[in-house]
């Protein structure tokens, strides 16, 4: 039995990890702490929940792997301490996703807190980095929007099936849990209920991450806030390369993800949030629409978009079966 620490266990992704680890046959949550220094222990909100202890970096030495469920900027110091003690680290924040510290500073408005760690951080889009993740000490868990965009897009770009000059339109809708546990005016129930809106057009912090991993700045990314708690549905509008059909793109995705436990490519029909919520799966479908090909992706932003993918990566890093705790 391996042991894990969850730092930031009172947030949505931390609580999701606690739920996943409770059914994991080979990895248990040994250390459960807040990410906020100088705070009191948090009693359980419900009888079945665990208390959340104060932040104590010394306790990280007692575990095999560390999950960082912290806001950006707060993860780096904790990652340093865990790595120095020999632990494997999966960071669910944005601290290690962007390779260039200048891009990070532009996107997040502060200098990168640990640029010396960036060269060794592996971007953990598991299906496209499995071997690198398995040998890594530090894994940057992808953002939820980028996961929903990159899983369908990367194989199509690699196969040269997308017109190399045309814009790539990524139209994404997320449940409100993607904004985190701390409520603000925009995510307050009264503003989300019976409402639907676009936001962050051209300025969203996930855009540099998507462009970096896709290797192109032709991506037009428009995020939206859905009046639901969990789930992301992304629609990609693609100009196919000459002679490429929707069937060709569907075949490419089906071949690339054949045998993958957490990616399903539809032969017919379209993904819906209800089919992927509470799962670590990303469902994909392809359809023709006039001169364009439309690709639809659906996933649970708290699982495949965050904690589930983080557990997938930690399983690999600790030499455990990838699907443990996630089937």
Six token digits for residue 209: 């991450």
The segments of the chain whose pLDDT lies below 70 read 38, 45-48, 181-183, 186
Q: Which two tokens stand for residue 62?
A: 């007692």
Is 144 annotated in the active site? Answer: yes
The predicted structure's pLDDT at residue 181: 65
Six token digits for residue 263? 């990616």
Distances (CA, A) of 31 to 4, 101, 306: 7, 31, 19
Q: Where would I find the H helices in the chain?
A: 12-22, 75-84, 101-108, 126-134, 144-158, 189-192, 206-214, 246-256, 273-276, 308-317
Tell me the pLDDT tens digit for each residue of 96-114. Answer: 999 999 999 999 999 999 9
Residue with tokens 């932040």: 55
Query: Rounded distance, CA 289 to CA 185, Å?
Result: 37
Catalytic residue among 69, 139, 144, 252: 144
Listing DSSP states for 237-251 in one string gives EE-BPTT--HHHHHH
DSSP 60: G
Q: Are 7 and 90 contacting, i.e. CB atoms less than 8 angstroms apart?
A: no
All CATH 3.30.360.10 domain ranges of the chain, comma separated, are 144-301
The reported pLDDT for the residue numbered 178 is: 78
User: 144-301 domain in CATH 3.30.360.10?
Assistant: yes
Give CA–CA dist 151/9, Å, rounded: 27
pLDDT of residue 183: 64
Do 138 and 79 contact (CB within 8 A), yes or no? yes
Least Cα distance to 84 among 137, 152, 31, 129 occurs for 137
pLDDT in tens, 11-52: 999 999 999 999 999 999 999 999 877 677 777 766 667 889
In whole angstroms, what is the distance from residue 264 CA to residue 323 CA? 15
Fold assignment, 2-141+305-317: Rossmann fold (3.40.50)
Where does the chain hold its CATH 3.40.50.720 domain(s)? 2-141+305-317
Model pLDDT, residue 296: 98
Q: Are 322 and 316 in contact (CB under 8 A)?
A: yes
Query: How many Å from the N-terminal Cα to the C-terminal Cα in the chain?
Result: 18
**Angstrom distance (rounded) from CA 120 to CA 103:** 17
């Amino acid at each position: 039995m391996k042991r894990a620490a969850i730092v930031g266990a009172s947030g949505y992704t931390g609580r999701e990890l606690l739920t996943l680890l409770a059914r994991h046959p080979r990895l248990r949550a040994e250390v459960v702490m807040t990410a906020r220094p100088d705070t009191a222990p948090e009693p359980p909100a419900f009888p079945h929940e665990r208390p959340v202890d104060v932040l104590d970096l010394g306790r990280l030495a007692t575990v095999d792997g560390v999950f960082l469920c912290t806001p950006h900027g707060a993860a780096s110091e904790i990652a340093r301490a865990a790595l120095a003690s020999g632990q494997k680290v999966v960071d669910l924040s944005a601290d290690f996703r962007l390779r260039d510290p200048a891009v990070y500073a532009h996107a997040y408005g502060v200098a990168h807190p640990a640029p010396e760690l960036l060269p060794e951080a592996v971007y953990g889009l598991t299906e496209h980095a499995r071997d690198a993740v398995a040998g890594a000490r530090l894994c940057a868990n992808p953002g939820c929007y980028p996961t929903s965009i990159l899983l369908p897009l990367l194989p199509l770009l690699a196969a040269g099936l997308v017109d190399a000059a045309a814009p790539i339109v990524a139209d994404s809708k997320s449940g409100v849990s993607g904004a985190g546990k701390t409520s603000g005016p925009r995510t307050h129930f009264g503003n989300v209920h019976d409402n639907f809106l676009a936001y962050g057009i051209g300025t969203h912090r996930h855009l540099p991450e998507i462009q970096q991993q896709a290797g192109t700045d032709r991506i037009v990314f428009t995020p939206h806030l859905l009046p639901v708690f969990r789930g992301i549905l992304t629609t990609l509008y693609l100009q196919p390369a000459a002679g490429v059909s929707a069937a060709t793109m569907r075949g490419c995705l089906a071949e690339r993800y054949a045998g993958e436990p957490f990616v399903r490519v539809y032969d017919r029909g379209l993904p819906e949030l209800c089919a992927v919520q509470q799962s670590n799966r990303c469902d994909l479908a392809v359809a023709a629409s006039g001169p364009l090909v439309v690709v639809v992706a659906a996933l649970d932003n708290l699982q495949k978009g965050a904690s589930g993918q983080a557990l997938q990566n930690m399983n690999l890093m600790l030499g455990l079966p990838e699907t443990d705790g996630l089937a």
